[in-house]
Chains A and B, each alone.
Chain A
Amino acid sequence: MLLEEVMIKDVITLSPTNTAKDALQTMQENKIRHLPIVESDGTVVGIVSDRDLKNIDPPTLIGGSDHDLSNSLLGDIMTPNPILGHPMDFVEEAAILFYEHKIGALPIVSTDKLVGIITETDLLYKYIELTGAHQPGSQIEVRVPNVPGILYEVSKVFHDHQTNVLSVLVYPDKENVANKIIVIRINSMNPLPLIQGLRQNGFEVLWPNVPGIDV
């Protein structure tokens, strides 16, 4: 999945000559936490987060008057030259950027112009979608040996039962590195025939998977 498929295209921005007060107001009105700072030609020169606003020298905010606050220019407060994404980056690559740089939002730039933004929250929701957990389904976990062709063997059982699969994820097995745990969400309230089918084919089904309790 590419960033251009998931990014927010209607980006709210301010310029370096706007003030901290403008930024605070814009964030509150739009319920957002990040503002790309953009020159009039569309180039991104910085980013301001709600945390940057909180970090403005406290006396100017608390003790001082509105005058002091409105005097703080975003050009002075912003994080200059922020980390940027490209519309054709993979979502997975963006996720790594968020994780490694501990950032909350990624402005997306093409031919030097701002074309979108994606936030940590948007990205998290995409991951929820990948797991299939946003639509009605049951989850089954199968412990399998980590050998080629095993996914085919497992999915054959689903084919036999004409069951619609919502998502498939593969996790390492913490107990034994020679195994993998395949997590499958299916579009059915009654997974029993399928579980029986998997067991008949020699698979270890964890449903539910609660350490210390065998069913």
Chain B
Amino acid sequence: MKKDAVFIYSEDQLNYSFSDTHPFNQKRIILTLDLLKKMQAITDEDIIRPRIATEEELLLAHDVKFIETVKKASKGELQENVGAIYGIGTEDTPIFPNMHEASALLVGGTLTAVDEVMNGRANYALNLGGGLHHGFHGKASGFCVYNDSSVAIKYLQQKYGARVLYIDTDAHHGDGVQWSFYDDPNVCTLSIHETGRYLFPGTGHITERGNGKGYGTSFNFPIDAFTEDESFLEVYRTSIKEVAEYFQPDVILTQNGADAHYFDPLTHLYGTMAIYNEIPRIAREIAEQYCEGRWIAVGGGGYDIWRVVPRAWAQIWLAMKKLPAPTGPLPADWLTSWQGESPVPLIPTWEDPDPLYEAIPRKKEITEKNAQMLNRALYIIRNEKINK
């Protein structure tokens, strides 16, 4: 029988770990899964173990020299200073033992998710270990070694001949995936992120629209620092609906970085749980409307792993199970299990405290600027619609 959703997970996904102090911490996945278990929203039958991506699969989106270098670094055989041109051994992506295997497993997890959905075993599939959207063809960047989404999109094209709409709501621009498909008219990338004025990686301007035959299949929605829920959601709802209608995808791949929240230490957006309730539910609607439901979701950024990520990521699974967004207290046993380990007091409810922060002085201007950006970014498809 076809399942609503599958959850790709094994404890080996936690081997993707740069160091104990590095902000990218896959413990988030355990915290999320435990929260879902303690609210009886997931059973062992829902969970599928990820496979490891083969080298042939990695080559779909990565350079052979880069892979060779990661493999050497993985075994501690890389000479000093050689890694830097491949972005490894840097502050952001330090070398760690077996990093090739750990990185290839995250890619494999997303491929497992793809196969479950495309072979009709499940409507939706979630791989929280994936979403490493900064990985480039020949270079690691921004905490990401191999780019699971880029490999998965190539795999979707070659094995299933699918037109893919990639939707990235991480607070950082999804540069790695965008550049991989910048010339490809059969893949559409859509990224909503804090403007690159200050934030890494700095790209993702509305003028980055694709190149050659791929012109018009890359969409960027850079929102201002201090953007709040309403403005974020207006940009999200409008962009995803209009772009999906324009592109007519066969399948949707969403990247669900959870770092646009007020608490996130690395970004300056002022989102609350309200956006994470809505992001996956609208994604599901769009998948139902245009793709007969085919929807694959991956994780991504998210650096407040205690107060933000578990609640935010749980919503993706709950949306896949067609459950409404829960309200009120979190399961008490989840709070007691983890409070001791958390350096900050956990938020005891599904909702954030209200108000979560002091009012923003320039809210009106920020909202107005985002709305203007949205119109300019979508101008190209609205214009085409009128000309039809």
Pairwise interchain contact A213-B226, C-beta atoms closer than 8 A: yes
Contact assessment for A136 and B201 in the assembled complex, using a CB-CB cutoff below 8 Å:
yes
Residues 102 to 143 of chain A near chain B (Cβ within 8 Å): 133, 135-141
B200-217 contacts to A, CB under 8 A, are 200-203
List, in ascending order, chain B residues with CB within 8 A of A192's CB. Answer: 23, 265-266
Cβ-neighbour of B202 out of A136, A140, A191 (below 8 A): A136
* Residues on B with beta carbons closer than 8 Å to the beta carbon of A164: 90-91
Q: CA of A87 to CA of B218 in the docked complex: distance in angstroms?
A: 38
Q: Which of B141, B198, B266, B360 has its CB near the most chain A CB atoms (within 10 A)?
A: B198
Binds B, one of A5-13, A33-41, A171-179, A181-189: A181-189
| Alpha-carbon distance between A163 and B143 when the two chains are bound, in angstroms | 15
Residues of B within 8 Å of A213, CB to CB, are 225-226, 360-362
For residue B281, CB closer than 8 A to chain A, the reply is: no
B168-208 interface bits toward A, Cβ cutoff 8 Å, 1 = contact, 0 = none: 00001001000000000000000000001111111100000
A contact residues around B226 at 8 Å (CB): 210, 213
Nearest opposing residue in chain A for B144, CB measure: A189
Q: Is A17 interfacial (CB-CB < 8 Å)?
A: no
A210 and B362 alpha carbons, distance in the complex (Å): 10
Cβ of B284 < 8 Å from any Cβ of A?
no
Chain A residues, Cβ within 8 Å of B196: 133
CB distance from A95 to the nearest CB of B (A): 22
Contact A212 B362 (CB under 8 A): yes
Residue A209, interface by CB 8 Å? yes
A208 with B198: CB separation less than 8 A: yes
A139 B202 Cβ-Cβ under 8 A: yes
Please determine whether B361 and A190 come into contact, CB atoms closer than 8 angstroms.
no
Indicate if the CB atoms of A136 and B200 lie closer than 8 Å: yes
With contacts A136-B175, A208-B268 taken as known, whether A190 is within 8 angstroms of B198 at the C-beta atoms is: no
CB neighbours of A161 from chain B (8 A) = 91
Contact residue among A133, A185, A189 (Cβ-Cβ distance under 8 Å from B92)? A189
- Cα distance A185–B175 in the bound complex, in angstroms: 17
Within 8 A of A (CB), among B254-285: 265-266, 268
Bound-state CA distance A163–B92 (Å) is 10
A212 to B134, CA, bound (A): 32
A215 touching B201 in the complex, CB below 8 Å, given contacts A162-B91, A189-B92, A190-B91: no
Q: Which residues of A contact B90 (CB under 8 A)?
A: 164, 187-188
Bound-complex Cα distance A185 to B265 (A)? 19
Cβ-based interface call for B300 (8 A): no
> Contact at B202–A185, with CB atoms within 8 Å?
yes
Q: Is A207 an interface residue (CB 8 A)?
A: yes
Cβ-defined partner of A188 (8 Å) among B200, B265, B360, B361: B200
What is the bound-complex CA distance between A58 and B54, given in angstroms?
65
Residues of B contacting A: mostly: loop
CB distance from B315 to the nearest CB of A (A): 25
Give Cα A190 to B23, complex, Å.
8
A136 engages B141 (CB within 8 Å): yes
Given contacts A210-B362, A213-B226, contact A189 B198 (CB under 8 A): no
Q: Are A163 and B91 in contact (CB under 8 A)?
A: yes
- What residue of chain B has the Cβ atom nearest to residue A132's Cβ? B202
A137-172 CB mask vs B (1 if < 8 Å, else 0) is 111110000000000000000000111100000000
Which B residues touch A163, using CB under 8 A?
A: 91
Q: Which residue of A lies closest to B224 (CB)?
A: A210
A138's nearest neighbour on chain B, judged by CB, is B200
Q: Which of A140, A164, A189 has most B Cβ within 10 Å?
A: A189
B108 an interface residue at 8 Å Cβ cutoff? no
On whether the beta carbons of B92 and A188 are closer than 8 Å, the reply is: yes
B142 within 8 A of A: yes
8 A Cβ contacts from B354-379 to A: 360-362
Chain B, 101-128, CB within 8 A of any chain A CB:
none
Q: Given A208-B197, A208-B225, A212-B361, verify A190-B202 contact (CB < 8 Å).
A: no
A141 to B198, CA, bound (A): 9
Q: Flag A191-207 by CB within 8 Å of B: 1 or 0 each.
A: 11000000000000001
CA separation between A192 and B196, bound complex, in Å?
16
In angstroms, Cα B224 to Cα A212, docked, is 14
A192 to B175, CA, bound (A): 21
Q: List the A side residues contacting B143 at CB < 8 Å.
A: 189-190
Q: A189–B266 contact, CB under 8 A?
A: yes
Q: Which of B142, B200, B224, B265 has the most CB of A within 10 A?
A: B200
A-B contact pairs, 17 of them (CB 8 A): A133-B196, A136-B175, A136-B203, A138-B198, A138-B199, A139-B197, A139-B198, A139-B202, A161-B91, A162-B91, A189-B142, A189-B172, A190-B23, A207-B198, A208-B197, A210-B224, A210-B362
Given contacts A207-B198, A213-B362, 6 further A-B contacts (CB under 8 A): A136-B142, A138-B202, A192-B23, A208-B199, A208-B268, A213-B226
A residues with CB within 8 A of B:
133, 135-141, 161-164, 185, 187-192, 207-210, 212-213, 215
Q: Report, nearest first, the 10 A-B pairs whose CB atoms are least far apart.
A: A136-B201, A208-B198, A189-B142, A189-B200, A138-B200, A208-B225, A139-B198, A188-B91, A212-B361, A136-B141
